[in-house]
Structure 1
Amino acid sequence: MSRKCSLFEYLVRVTGCLLFAFLIFTCSKDDAPPPVEGEEEQPTVPTSSGDLPLMVISTPNNTIVDEPKVNGEMTVIKRGELLFEGNIGIEIRGASSQFFDKKSYGLETRDASNQDLDVSLLGFPEEEDWVLHGPYSDKSLVRNHLIYGLARDMGRYASRSELVELNLNGTYRGVYAFMEKLKRDKNRIAVSKLTSDEVSGEDLTGGYVLKIDKLSRSDNGQSYTSANSFESRIVPPSAGMGQAINFVYEYPEAEDIVPEQQQYIIDYVSQFEAALASDTFTDPQTGYANYIDVDSFIDFFILTELSNNVDGYRLSTYIQKDKNEKLAMGPIWDFNLAFGNADYCSGGETNVWAYKFNERCPLDIWLVPFWWERLLQDPAFTERLKQRWATLRGSTLSNGTILGKVDGYIGLMQEAGAIDKNFGTWDVLGIYVWPNNFVGQTYNDEIVYLKDWITNRLEWLDGAMNEL
C-alpha cells in the first residue's frame, strides 16, 4: 500500500515541477487525486527558481485577520529542496500598510498541537515569531532589506531578512521580505530576561525595551496611558499643539511590567533627559554620556540620516537598556518609506536633515525628541560622529558597497523571474501609491531613481557631516 503524500510532495505534484523524477521514488502515482471530468483546471502553485525561496502558506477554512492568528500550514522550498514543512499561526500586521492590497503578515511556527515552536527558518537562529513584509508602495522591493543588511554590516543587530516569494492559499502574492520579529531574545534584542520578582538592586537595572511609536492592539490600548507608556518631561522642539514624546513599554510588556520596574525605567530616562538638557550636558561624568551608549546613538543617527527616513526618531524607534548597562538605541525598524519614498515633510529630498523633521512639520502628531538637536551641540559627540562616518564611508557605506547590495538583490529576483511575477500580480508600476515621491513607469525606472537618490544623498551627507 502506498503512503500518503506530504504537503510538499502534493504541491510539487500539482505544479508538475522538475522534482517529479525525485517524487516518483517517494510517492506512488496512486496518491495523486483523480481528475474530475468537467472540472476547471486549478491554478498552479509557482515553484522556486534560483536562490529565491518560495513560501507556500495555506489556511484551510480560515480567513486571515488582524488578530488573532489563525491556524495554517507552511512549506518553504528553495531550488526544489524542502527546507521546512509545519504548522503556523498567521495574522495581518502593520498600521498604515494594512490599507494596501498587498498585506504584510505576522506568523509564528507551531507544533502538531498548534503550540508555539522554536525553529530555524532560512538559516536564522531558532525562534517562533516571524514577519512577512510585503513591499507595496516601495516598488524597489528592497528598502527594508537593504537598510537591515547595512546595519548588520556596521556591527549592529537588525532583523535578519531574506527576499522570498509567497503563495497564499493557492494564489501567488509576489515578493516579500521574510524577517525576524523584533523581540527580547538572545539572538535578537539581547537584553537580560526580567521577571516580575526582580524589583530591587542589580536585578532591577535590566533588561528593558522601549519604543517611540504609535500604539497597536498588542500595546494594551489605543491611547497612551500610564499602564502602557510614560511621557517625556521635555516638550519636543517646535511642538505647537501640545505634542509629547511617549515611551511605550515593549519589554516587559504593559501587562507584565511591575510598578518597581516602571518607576526604575521612568527615572532612568528622565535622568538622562535632564542631564542632556542641563547647562553641563557635555560633562563626561555628570552629563548625558553617563547615561547612554554614545556609539549606539551615533550609528542609529547615521542609518536614519543615510536613508532620510521620514519616520525616523519618532516612530518605530526602539531603545534598550540591559542589566548594569546604559541606554542604547536600536535596533532600527520599518524603513519602507525611506530612501526617497515619501512625498511629505521633505521625505523625498536628499539635502535635508531627518532629525529636523519638527521644523518642517510642527503640526504632526508624532515629533522627534530633543535628543538629537542637543547631542549635535556637543563638539565631542560631533567629532565621534564625523570619525565614524569617515570610517564607514571607506567600507560598509561606500557608494560601491551600497549600490552593489542593491544590484545583488535585483539579480537574485531577476534570476527567479520574481520581479515580473510580482508586478504582474500587483500592477502598481506607473501608478501613485501613497506616499510615493517618485512614480516610475517601469521597474528599472524605480531602481534608477533609488540608486541616484542614494548617490546624491551620500554626496550631500559628506559635506553636511563636515560642517557639523
Structure 2
Amino acid sequence: MQMKKNYFATTRLLVGYAIVMLLLTTACSKNKSNPEPEITEEEKLDESIKAVVPEISIQIEGNQEVKEKEVYLTATVSIKGNGVYPDLAPIKTRIKGRGNSTWELPKKPYKLKLDNKASLLGLGAAKEWVLLANYQDYTLMTNAIAMKIGQQLAMPFTNTIIPADLIVNGTYRGSYNLTQQIEVKENRVDLGKDDLLLELDSNFDEAYKFKSKGLNLPVMVKNPDITAPATLDEIKAGFEAFEQLLLDSKFPGNNYGDYIDKQQLVNFLVVNNLTGNFEVNHPKSVFIHKATGGKYTMGPIWDFDWGFGMDEDSHKYFSWTNVPLLKDGDTRLGAKFLSIFMKDPEIRSLYKQTWKNYKNGKFEALLSYIETYAATIRDSQKKDYERWKVGDNNLPKSKADMKIYLRKRAAYIDAYVNGL
C-alpha cells in the first residue's frame, strides 16, 4: 500500500513538472517570436540631464473655460521656474483661444495678453504670449527644432520655444510650449510701428488683406494698423510692384534683388526644406517683414507641426525623406511664388553655399540640441501622454527617429544642392 501511495505521489510530481516545463517552453517560444523591443543606444535618453520644466498656472475668473478665439477672459498667471527659470508671482492677464485647425483639436492652444509688460521665463518683456498645445505633435519637439535651425541660420526675430507644464484652474492641461507672439513690438519683430509685417496664408482670415495682382497671393497685413483705405492701397501697390519684377521677362536680370533680402530668402528655403515643411506651398504661415526703406525679408518662421515627414493619413512623422520642397509644376500659390527665385543662378549658388556652411558647421549641434531637449521633457511628455493619449508614448524612439530623419533629409539636400 505504501509503495502504491509513493508511486501516485511521484507520478503527480512528474506530471506537474512536465506541465510547468511545457508552460515555460511555450512562454520562451512566444518571447522568441514576439521579443520585447530593445532600446538601442540611439534611443536612450540622457539621464544625466535634469528632466525639469517650468510650471505655468493660469487661474481664470470664476473658473471659466476658454471656449472662443475672439473673447478674452480675465485671469491671473504665475510661474514656478523649478530652479531652471525665474519664478513669477501671480499677475493679471487675459486669455483666449488661438490657432486655425489646431483650435478644433481637444488640447487647446491659448493666447495671453498681460495687463502690463512682463518677462516670462527669461524672455524679453512684452504683453502678448502664445501657448502652443502641440496636440498632434506626439514628439513635442517639431517647433522647437525648427526654431533652433532658424536661430542657427541667424534669421532675424526667430522665436524661442520653452517647454512647460500648464495648469488651468487647478487642472493639469499638458505639456505646452511658451513662445513669443509674432507682432511688431520691442522684443518681438523689433521694427518701427509703421513698418511692414505681412503674412501669406490661404486661410485669408485677417481684417486687412488683398489678393496680389500677379500671382493671386493671399496677403494679410499684420502691421501697421490700417486707419485709412489709402494705407492698404499703398502697401498693396508696393508689394505688387515687387511681384511684377519676379514675373518680368528680364528676370532675374532686372533689379529685383534691390527689393528682397536674398540671403534670408535662402535661409527660409533651407529651414523649410530640412524640416520638410510643405505648408509654405499653400501658402500658410509665411511671414515677410520690411523696415521702411529696407528690403522684403522672409520671416519670422512659424508653425512646423505638419513638417518632418508627417503623413496626412496615418498622422505619423518621418514617413518620407526624399520629397522636394518645391516641385516642378506645383500650382499652389506659395509654391509658384517661391519657385520663381530658384530660377536665379545667384540664388542657387547662395543656396548651395549656405547649405554646405550649415551642414559642416551647425548640423551636428542641432542633433545635440535634440538630445538635450528630449531628455529635458521626458517627465513632462509622460504626464502629457497620460492626459491626452496621443502617439505611442515612446519619446526615446521619437527622438532617435527625429535624428535619423534629419540625417536622411540632410543627405537628400546634399544631393539636391550638388545638382544646382
TM interval, shorter chain, is 0.7 to 0.9
- State the alpha-carbon separation in 1 of the partners of residues 277 and 113 from structure 2: 29
How far is the alpha carbon of 1:357 from its aligned partner?
8.7
Residue in 2 that maps onto 1:198 = none
How far is the alpha carbon of 1:50 from its aligned partner?
5.3
Residue in 2 that maps onto 1:57 = 58
Matched, 1:428 2:408: no
Residue in 2 that maps onto 1:114 = none
- The answer to whether the 8 A contact 1:310-1:338 is kept is yes
Matched, 1:68 2:56: no
1:85 pairs, out of 84, 90, 94, with 90
- State the alpha-carbon separation in 2 of the partners of residues 357 and 65 from structure 1: 43
- The answer to whether the 8 A contact 1:60-1:72 is kept is yes
Matched, 1:352 2:316: no
- State the alpha-carbon separation in 2 of the partners of residues 139 and 357 from structure 1: 32
Q: How does 1:197-212 map to 2 (within 5 A)?
A: 207-212=195-200
Q: How does 1:214-225 map to 2 (within 5 A)?
A: 214-215=202-203, 219-220=206-207
Matched, 1:268 2:238: yes
**Which letter does structure 1 place at the counterpart of 2:125?**
E
Residue in 2 that maps onto 1:338 = 307
Aligned residues: 363
Q: Secondary structure, in 3 states, of the residue corresponding to 1:461?
A: helix
**Which letter does structure 2 place at the counterpart of 1:108?**
K
Residues 193, 402 of structure 1: alpha-carbon distance in 2 compared, 3 angstrom cutoff: same
Bigger helix share: 2
Matched, 1:234 2:218: no
Residue in 1 that maps onto 2:17 = none
1:94 pairs, out of 99, 105, 125, with 99
Q: TM-score scaled to structure 1, two decimals?
A: 0.73
Q: Which runs of 5+ in 1 are unaligned?
A: 1-48, 111-116, 195-206, 221-227, 236-243, 431-440
Residue in 2 that maps onto 1:40 = none
- State the alpha-carbon separation in 1 of the partners of residues 51 and 113 from structure 2: 26
- The answer to whether the 8 A contact 1:58-1:73 is kept is yes
Residue in 2 that maps onto 1:322 = 291
How far is the alpha carbon of 1:258 from its aligned partner?
2.7
**Which letter does structure 2 place at the counterpart of 1:233?**
K
Matched, 1:453 2:411: no
Residue in 2 that maps onto 1:251 = 223
How far is the alpha carbon of 1:215 from its aligned partner?
4.2
Q: Percent identity?
A: 24
How far is the alpha carbon of 1:257 from its aligned partner?
4.3
- State the alpha-carbon separation in 2 of the partners of residues 348 and 212 from structure 1: 27
**Which letter does structure 2 place at the counterpart of 1:208?**
L
Matched, 1:186 2:186: yes
Residue in 1 that maps onto 2:38 = none
Residue in 1 that maps onto 2:417 = 465
Q: Which runs of 5+ in 2 are unaligned?
A: 1-49
1:309 pairs, out of 259, 263, 277, with 277
- The answer to whether the 8 A contact 1:429-1:443 is kept is no
- State the alpha-carbon separation in 2 of the partners of residues 385 and 161 from structure 1: 26
Residues 85, 429 of structure 1: alpha-carbon distance in 2 compared, 3 angstrom cutoff: same
Residues 119, 357 of structure 1: alpha-carbon distance in 2 compared, 3 angstrom cutoff: farther
How far is the alpha carbon of 1:367 from its aligned partner?
3.4
How far is the alpha carbon of 1:462 from its aligned partner?
0.8
User: C-alpha deviations, 1:75-116, integer Å up to 9, x for none?
Assistant: 100126733421111111111111211111001112xxxxxx
Matched, 1:394 2:360: yes
- State the alpha-carbon separation in 1 of the partners of residues 338 and 381 from structure 2: 39
- The answer to whether the 8 A contact 2:200-2:286 is kept is yes
Residue in 2 that maps onto 1:175 = 175
User: C-alpha deviations, 1:111-156, integer Å up to 9, x for none?
Assistant: xxxxxx1111111111000000011111110111111122122212
How far is the alpha carbon of 1:449 from its aligned partner?
2.5
Q: Secondary structure, in 3 states, of the residue corresponding to 1:106?
A: strand
- State the alpha-carbon separation in 1 of the partners of residues 227 and 359 from structure 2: 41
Residue in 1 that maps onto 2:394 = 442
- State the alpha-carbon separation in 1 of the partners of residues 167 and 228 from structure 2: 43
Residues 369, 257 of structure 1: alpha-carbon distance in 2 compared, 3 angstrom cutoff: farther
- The answer to whether the 8 A contact 1:310-1:357 is kept is no
**Which letter does structure 2 place at the counterpart of 1:352?**
V
Q: Which structure has the larger Rg?
A: 2
- State the alpha-carbon separation in 2 of the partners of residues 426 and 368 from structure 1: 34
Residue in 2 that maps onto 1:434 = none
Q: Secondary structure, in 3 states, of the residue corresponding to 1:333?
A: coil
Residues 298, 257 of structure 1: alpha-carbon distance in 2 compared, 3 angstrom cutoff: farther
Name whichever of 133-142 and 50-59 sits farther off. Answer: 50-59
Q: TM-score scaled to structure 2, two decimals?
A: 0.81
1:403 pairs, out of 349, 353, 367, with 367
**Which letter does structure 1 place at the counterpart of 2:73?**
V
- State the alpha-carbon separation in 1 of the partners of residues 358 and 402 from structure 2: 20
